[in-house]
Each structure stands twice: as structure tokens, then as C-alpha cells.
């Protein structure tokens, strides 16, 4: 399947992606690729699986080859090559794509690049813009923000099902013993059940990397509250092939009706030529390339420090408290060391108290020994 030169590249890719080769370790035997377009809920899915099944699955989150190159320096091979290579090594391989409704995905995609691409300024400057200026720019580019379907057009698993499974809320195609799965963000409340059925893991879905938590959140909130879709843009949405495949007729009617109640007059948007010029100029003028690295709630590290923090987070979630901290290795190590140093300081202080107590006159020793016993008991029970 692969040439010797490709095998070398794939071996290096696995090292760079931290995919282990010790098959006695459960997580090295089970590989999950969330291979999807951006802004569809994939970060939440990855973080949730890492939080609750980090020792069972190696999870990788990719949008395409450019992401592999930018983050890991991987060139000369494709994401699908890496997927098939790990299957060739005898691993259980799952690949998941997510569908998100088109208008919401276009809005999130636009705001992901609003500062560095669309306006070439900082988030703080964008926050000073009139909201109508941002709405106009969004409408101008709306028809050209593509809604990609990795499951149907990237995975190369044809032929696929004629319809989405609206009862089970997912579809799956098995090719070369690799399981390719499509789920919907609309069903996020049922992802736990779906993942338990497909992967045999119990997961609570956590929200992660939401735009309304970023610097641009105030403008994003104003936009969502103010935006009304022009009717001619809504007509484009009605013809969206992904919407008409992944939503049932009833769901489509409900979705379109919701936006019709928030519609407005037609607008003149960029022509194809105008957009191509706009895209070229914006691409050349970008003052930075926005590549997110540590944007997951859980980066997936299984060291002692991260595992302890993960246990703490899971305990809080199971008790209904979703106010959890990110699990990033360097931060977790610093926090654990700080806790250890604090504990050592407390122990040294208690030992000093004990030493002082044992050198006092005999008439006070009995009382003080009682105090010492209490000190030891409190230390052991902490």
C-alpha cells in the first residue's frame, strides 16, 4: 500500500502526533480521528473524549494537511494516509465528521478569522466597529463561505447511504475495517449515548472553545442579537445539499422557518470576481496566521500531574459543576509542584511544632502529646 519512503514519513508522523506503538497499552490500540471542517463542535467532542476516556483512546483532531504541516511539520502524506497506516498496524481506527447547520457554521467561520483575515486588525479594534459594518462584510462574503462535507467528499468511502439515519442520529460506513462516522451538532445532547453505542465509552459532553468566551465575544454577541439574514441569502441556504441530506424534511422546515422570522430585504453581495480579489488581498494582508494550539479543555496528556487534574475535573462534572480548568501539561506540572511544596511546608511546620512540644516540661507533655496526636491524625487524614 505504501512505498518505503512513505512508510518512513508515516512512522515519523506517528511520532510527531504522539501515537504510541506499544500495543499492550489500551489507548495505543484504539485511535480516534476527529477529521472534520472547523467550527462544527469538534473541539468539544475531542476534549470530552479525552476527559473521560483518555486511557482508552488516542484522539487526534485534524482539519487537513495544512494543519498537519503547520502544527507538526508533517509533509508528503495525507491525513487519510495516516488513518490507513494506523489500521495497517493493526489498530482499531475510528474517524468522525460532524455536520453543523449552514448559517451558524458560516457565522462561526467568519468570526474565527474576522480580525486577522477579514479586517486585518486586532480583536480590540474590531470590537470598536459599528455592528452594521460587520454585518455588511459578512453578507458580502456569505455565498463563498463553503460548507464542506468530509464524510461524503473527503473520506472517499463511496458509495454511502442514501439518507441520514434520523432515528439513531448518525451514519457509519466501514471501509477496510476503518469505521467512518458522521454525527450532527444538532444532536449534541445525545452524543453521550451515540458514543457509548459506537465506541463503548461513557462520556459527558463539555462545552469548549466557544467564540463568546474569546476577546471578540462582545462583538460576537451583538452580531448574533442583531443579525437578520437577507432573503436572497436564505434562498441560497435552502438549496444547500448538506442541509437537505443531514436534516429531515421536518427539521429543514423548522430551521428555515426560524430564520425566515429573522429575515430582511435582499442585499447585493460580492460577485465571484469581486470575492476572488477580496480573498487574494485579504490573504496577502493578513498580519498574523491564527493557528490554535492549546485551545482544548483537555490536551490529552496522561502524565501523573494531568491525570490528577483530570480526575478532579471529572469529579466536578459528575457532580454537575462544569466550572473546570484546562488540562495543559506544563500548567498541570507547575500546579502539582506548587501543591507539593505547600504540603511539604505544612509538614515541616507541624514537625517543628512536635519537636517543640516534646522538649517542654514533663508537666505539660501529656497535654502536648495529645495535641501532637491530633496533629498527626489531621496530617494523615488530609
Per-residue pLDDT tens digits for 11-66: 999 998 889 999 999 999 999 999 999 999 998 999 899 889 988 999 998 998 88
Percent of the chain beyond pLDDT 90?
58
pLDDT band at residue 362 under the 50/70/90 scheme: low
Q: What is the mean pLDDT of residues 148-154?
A: 94
Q: Is 239 strand, coil or helix?
A: coil
Residue 372 pLDDT:
47
Which parts of the chain fold into alpha helices (H)?
4-16, 26-29, 42-53, 65-72, 79-88, 102-112, 123-126, 131-141, 150-153, 191-199, 217-226, 231-238, 241-246, 249-260, 272-285, 304-318, 329-358, 362-381
Residue 311 pLDDT:
67
Residue 351 pLDDT:
84
The pLDDT mean for the chain works out to 86
CA distance 270 to 273: 8
User: 322-360, pLDDT tens digit by residue?
Assistant: 676 776 666 777 777 777 777 777 788 888 888 877 776
User: 107-135, pLDDT tens digit by residue?
Assistant: 999 999 999 999 999 899 999 999 999 99
pTM for this structure?
0.81
List strands edge to edge, sheet with 92-99: 58-62, 30-35, 92-99, 178-184, 170-175
**How buried is 144 (Cβ within 10 angstroms: 0-12 exposed, 13-18 middle, 19+ buried)?**
middle
Reply yes or no on whether the pLDDT at 215 is more than 60: yes
Residue 366 pLDDT:
46
CA distance 238 to 269: 17
Pick from 38, 37, 102, 105: which is nearest to 255 by CA? 102
CA distance 251 to 173: 24
Listed in sequence order, the residues at least 6 apart from 29 whose beta carbon sits closer than 8 Å to its beta carbon are 23, 91, 92
160 vs 231, residue with greater confidence: 231
Q: What is the mean pLDDT of residues 208-232?
A: 84
Reply yes or no on whether the pLDDT at 294 is more than 60: no
Cell of 202: 461513557
Amino acid at each position: 500500500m505504501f512505498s518505503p519512503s512513505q512508510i518512513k514519513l508515516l512512522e515519523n508522523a506517528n511520532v510527531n502526533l504522539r501515537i504510541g506503538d506499544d500495543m499492550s497499552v489500551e489507548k495505543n490500540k484504539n485511535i480516534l480521528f476527529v477529521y472534520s471542517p472547523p467550527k462544527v463542535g469538534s473541539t468539544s467532542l475531542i476534549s470530552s473524549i479525552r476527559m473521560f476516556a483518555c486511557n482508552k483512546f488516542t484522539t487526534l483532531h485534524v482539519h487537513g494537511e495544512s494543519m498537519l504541516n503547520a502544527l507538526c511539520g508533517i509533509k508528503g502524506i495525507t491525513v487519510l494516509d495516516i488513518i490507513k497506516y494506523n489500521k495497517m498496524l493493526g489498530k482499531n481506527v475510528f474517524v468522525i465528521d460532524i455536520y453543523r447547520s449552514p448559517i451558524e457554521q458560516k457565522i462561526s467561520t467568519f468570526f474565527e478569522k474576522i480580525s486577522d483575515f477579514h479586517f486585518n486588525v486586532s480583536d480590540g479594534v474590531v470590537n470598536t466597529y459599528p455592528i452594521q459594518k460587520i454585518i455588511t462584510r459578512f453578507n458580502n462574503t456569505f455565498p463563498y463561505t463553503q460548507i464542506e462535507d468530509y464524510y461524503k467528499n473527503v473520506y472517499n468511502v463511496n458509495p454511502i447511504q442514501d439518507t441520514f439515519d434520523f432515528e439513531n442520529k448518525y451514519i457509519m460506513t466501514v471501509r477496510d475495517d476503518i469505521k467512518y462516522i458522521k454525527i450532527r451538532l444538532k444532536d449534541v445532547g445525545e452524543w453521550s449515548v451515540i458514543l457509548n453505542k459506537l465506541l463503548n465509552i461513557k462520556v459527558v459532553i463539555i462545552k469548549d472553545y466557544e467564540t463568546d468566551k474569546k476577546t471578540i465575544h462582545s462583538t460576537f454577541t451583538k452580531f448574533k442579537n442583531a443579525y437578520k439574514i437577507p432573503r436572497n441569502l436564505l434562498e441560497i441556504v435552502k438549496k444547500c445539499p448538506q442541509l437537505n441530506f443531514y436534516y429531515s424534511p421536518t427539521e429543514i422546515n423548522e430551521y428555515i422557518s426560524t430564520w425566515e422570522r429573522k429575515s430582511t430585504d435582499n442585499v447585493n453581495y460580492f460577485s465571484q470576481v469581486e470575492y476572488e480579489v477580496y480573498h487574494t488581498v485579504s490573504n496577502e494582508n493578513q498580519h498574523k496566521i491564527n493557528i490554535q494550539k492549546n485551545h482544548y479543555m483537555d490536551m490529552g496528556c496522561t502524565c501523573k500531574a494531568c491525570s490528577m487534574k483530570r480526575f478532579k475535573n471529572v469529579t466536578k462534572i459528575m457532580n454537575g459543576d462544569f466550572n473546570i480548568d484546562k488540562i495543559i501539561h506544563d500548567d498541570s506540572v507547575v500546579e502539582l509542584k506548587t501543591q507539593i511544596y505547600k504540603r511539604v511546608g505544612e509538614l515541616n511546620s507541624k514537625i517543628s511544632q512536635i519537636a517543640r512540644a516534646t522538649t517542654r516540661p514533663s508537666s505539660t507533655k501529656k497535654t502536648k502529646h495529645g495535641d501532637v496526636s491530633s496533629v498527626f491524625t489531621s496530617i494523615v487524614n488530609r
